Every structure is written in C-alpha cells, then in structure tokens.
C-alpha cells in the first residue's frame, strides 16, 4: 500500500544516515517519501527531491547568500523561511500528506516555522533533541504539532535513537492515513470555554446551533486551545465565533506563560467574521502550578486547580486593565461584534455565595468596559450570570437575527 506520501526534512549534509533511516521505515510500512534538504555548507550522499538551493530560492535568497552572511543563525533563518514557503506550496499542490522534520536546536528552530506554515489537520512530527524543552516557546508550536524526543541521536545511528526514529516514522505515516481533516465546507462555529465546572453555556448552545445546521468546535482556553482558535479564525474557517472565555487575554497582559499570544481576540475581527463575545473568567489569571508563585502574586488569593495549573484572582485595578485590553482588541474588528455583559458574574466561582464572589470588582470591571468600549461594538447588558439560561438565550437571539439578515452566512 503506497497511499500516503511523507515529506522528510532535515540537514542531509550532517544527518544523512538518520534521515535515510526514517525514510526507510516509512517505505517499509508502505508509504512514499519526498525529501527536502535544508543544509547550508555540505551536500547529501545522493540528490534529494528538493535541494538546499530549491529551499533557499523559494524564500527569495540563495545558498551563496546564506554562506556569505557568516552567521549560522542568519543562514538557518534563510533556510527556515524557504522551507516553510516550499512546504506550504507543495502541500497546496497535493504533493505530500504529512511531514516529519529531524534536528537538534538548529533543525528544531526551522521545524517550528515549517509546521506553523501548514494548516490544522496536516500531520506534523518533529523529532528533536530538545523536544518538550523550555527552549521551545508555546507561541511557536502549531496547534497540532507532535513531538518525540530524539534520545541518543546527537551523532550517528544506534539502537536507542532507532527506537525514537522508527516510532516517529510510523506515527506520521499512520496519522496521514487516519486523519480526518476539518470539513471547512460546512458552516463552523468557533466557541471558547473552560471545563464545565467553570463555564456551562456550551451545554445548551452546542445542540441548539447544530439544530440550525452549523457545526460547533469548542476550544479549551488554556493557551494552546486559544492559539488553535485564533489560527483557524485567521484562516477564515468560522462562519461566526462565540468567544465567551477570553481569560487568555488577561493571562497574556499580566505576564502568564499560559498565553494564546498577543493576537488573542483579534483574528476573527480582522477577517470580518461576526463575533459574539463575553469576557468569561476575566477575573482569573492562570499560571504554571508547579513553578514557584511569582512575587507579584504573593498578596493575591489563589487556587491550585491541579499540579499543573494555579489560578490567581485579580484585584480591581487589574480587572480594569483587562477591560481596557478587551476594548483595544475589539477595536480592530472589521465585522460585527456583540459583547454580552452579565451583571451577576462571568464564571461559576464568582456567583453570589461562591468562594470568589467579588461584586465590587465585577461592577468596576463592567463600568470600565462600558467606558472604553469602541463605538462599533454593540453591548448587551444581561441581568444574570454567564451560566444562566438567559445568557445562552441572548446569544442565540443575536445569532438568529444575524442569520436572518445575512450577517452570518449559512
């Protein structure tokens, strides 16, 4: 069975044996292989389908320019740009079904750019000596990137590194055969949320939207989920967004590592996609639970959600800063925006009588939102809580009106 083709990427001048081993495992399992050489100084033992000259040229440069720079970082960035553009073009042309990139720190730096250039649903595997390392920032990871540690693989083949390489080869081929890619021909609603202990609106909304003929994808707003949401929004994948948990924006402006990036709450708007927004869990900032509590949070109430995640409760001034950041991001929207503002809380834990209830803090946040809200944003003030039926009903009423007027395309 030679049903799927895998693009194998690496520096063939220094890792020829390892890359050939990867390709051999893929072929032995019935797959096909295309090879891309991202070397600069040396050459592979035999020509690859896409040479280092092809790669540099795709990015508008040349191997000669990379060498002349005299700087290995600059040279590899030339190759990373070309490799990302070439991989994206080849996939758009239907030349390959999945990609695997092999490398140390240099190759991994390039691999992150290449994987980011490919859309969600394209199997992407990185075999790296620094997999899962703090050297790799979350913002450089494509939403569905898979990584495996290249154990014992710094120099030459051995039985230890063959175990990693063979698993990775089988994984990318298996993923290419098994993947069910997003069906972007069906109208898709992008929704953000947290677990049902904090936010529950998706429970009534998802079936109601499906009854209206829309598919609903709910993204877990814990950093990487928000990145996936923003990536698809930037591609124009959504007919409408129900962005009801924007906590990642607060995480970002308050310096948390659990960030979806500086572009959170912007990509749907920049595409002109209709947005129904609510600042769910605006009062919390999530931080990495297994690290020491940063000094800036030492006087704040906090809750250890589990061994991975701790939630910090913001004070009034910090909540007002979150309100202003929402206004800044929403002001960039080129399409309609409806902002839902429940006056009895935006997370289950801040209900009246709950542990994190802070009515003065909530009132100050809502007042600041009203003060700074861009004129193109329509505010809908709801007498209720974000998890009450009235919230979901209001969202549906806005959505149904937009559908009736052709604002949302079915």
Looking at 153, 178, 203, which one is the last position of a domain? 178
* Count: domains in the chain: 2
Whether 169 contacts 26, CB under 8 Å = yes
Which pLDDT score, from 0 to 100, does residue 112 have?
96
Which pLDDT score, from 0 to 100, does residue 2 have?
57
Please state the length of the chain: 410
Q: Tell me, what CATH number does 31's domain have?
A: 3.40.50.12020
Range of the domain at 398: 188-404
Q: In what order do the strands lie in the sheet with 337-342?
A: 215-220, 188-193, 240-243, 275-277, 337-342, 377-382
pTM value is 0.85
Q: Exposed, middle or buried: residue 34 (CB in 10 Å: 0-12, 13-18, 19+)?
A: middle
> How many CB atoms within 10 Å of residue 301?
13
If asked whether residues 39 and 69 sit together in one domain, one would say yes
Tell which residue, 310, 272, 317, has the closest CA to residue 294.
310
183 within a domain of the structure (yes/no): no
> How many CB atoms within 10 Å of residue 304?
12
DSSP tag of 407: S
Any idea which residue has 């939403």 for tokens? 143
**222 Cβ contact list (under 8 Å, min separation 6):** 194, 248, 258, 286, 309
> How many CB atoms within 10 Å of residue 167?
14
Looking at 178, 209, 231, which one is the last position of a domain? 178
DSSP tag of 287: E
- Residue 238 dihedral angles phi and psi, to the nearest 5°: -100, 140
If asked whether residues 100 and 198 sit together in one domain, one would say no
If asked whether residues 273 and 147 sit together in one domain, one would say no
Profile the chain (410 residues) by mean pLDDT over runs of 10 residues. Answer: 88 95 96 97 96 98 96 95 98 97 95 94 95 84 89 85 95 95 85 93 97 95 90 91 97 92 95 98 94 92 87 96 98 97 95 92 97 96 98 98 94
Q: Which two tokens stand for residue 281?
A: 């869990």
Which pLDDT score, from 0 to 100, does residue 319 have?
97
Looking at 159, 178, 197, which one is the last position of a domain? 178
Whether 81 contacts 139, CB under 8 Å = no
Any idea which residue has 């081929």 for tokens? 173
């Amino acid at each position: 069975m030679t049903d799927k083709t895998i693009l194998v990427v690496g520096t063939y001048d220094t890792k020829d044996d390892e890359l050939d081993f990867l390709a051999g495992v893929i072929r032995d399992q019935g797959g096909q292989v295309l090879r891309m050489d991202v070397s600069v100084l040396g050459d592979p033992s035999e020509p690859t389908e896409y040479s280092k000259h092809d790669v540099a040229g795709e990015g508008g440069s040349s191997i000669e320019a990379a060498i002349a720079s005299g700087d290995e970082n600059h040279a590899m960035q030339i190759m990373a740009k070309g490799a990302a553009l070439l991989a994206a073009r080849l996939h758009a042309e239907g030349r390959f079904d999945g990609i695997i990139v092999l490398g140390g720190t240099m190759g991994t730096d390039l691999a992150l750019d290449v994987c980011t250039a490919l859309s969600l649903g394209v199997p992407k595997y990185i075999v790296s000596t620094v997999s899962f390392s703090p050297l790799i920032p979350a913002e450089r990871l494509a939403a569905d990137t898979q990584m495996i540690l290249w154990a014992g693989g710094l120099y030459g083949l051995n039985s230890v590194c063959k175990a990693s390489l063979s698993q990775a080869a089988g994984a990318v081929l298996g993923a290419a055969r098994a993947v069910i890619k997003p069906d972007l021909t069906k109208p898709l609603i992008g929704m953000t949320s947290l677990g049902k202990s904090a936010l529950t609106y998706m429970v009534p909304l998802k079936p109601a939207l499906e009854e209206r003929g829309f598919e609903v994808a709910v993204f877990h707003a814990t950093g990487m989920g928000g990145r996936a949401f923003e990536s698809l929004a930037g591609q124009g994948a959504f007919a409408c967004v129900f962005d009801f948990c924007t906590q990642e924006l607060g995480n970002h402006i308050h310096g948390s590592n659990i960030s979806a990036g500086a572009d959170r709450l912007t990509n749907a708007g920049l595409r002109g996609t209709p947005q129904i927004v609510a600042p769910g869990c605006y009062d919390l900032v999530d931080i990495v639970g297994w690290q020491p509590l940063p000094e800036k949070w030492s006087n704040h109430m906090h809750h250890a959600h589990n061994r991975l995640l701790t939630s910090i409760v913001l004070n009034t001034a910090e909540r007002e800063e979150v309100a202003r950041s929402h206004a800044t991001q929403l002001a960039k929207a080129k399409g309609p925006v409806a902002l839902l503002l429940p006056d009895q809380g935006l997370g289950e834990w801040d209900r009246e009588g709950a542990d994190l209830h802070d009515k003065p803090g909530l009132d100050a946040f809502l007042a600041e939102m009203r003060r700074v809200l861009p004129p193109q944003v329509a505010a809908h003030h709801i007498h209720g809580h974000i998890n009450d039926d009235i919230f979901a009903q209001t969202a549906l009423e806005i959505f149904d009106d937009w559908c009736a007027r052709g604002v949302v395309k079915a």
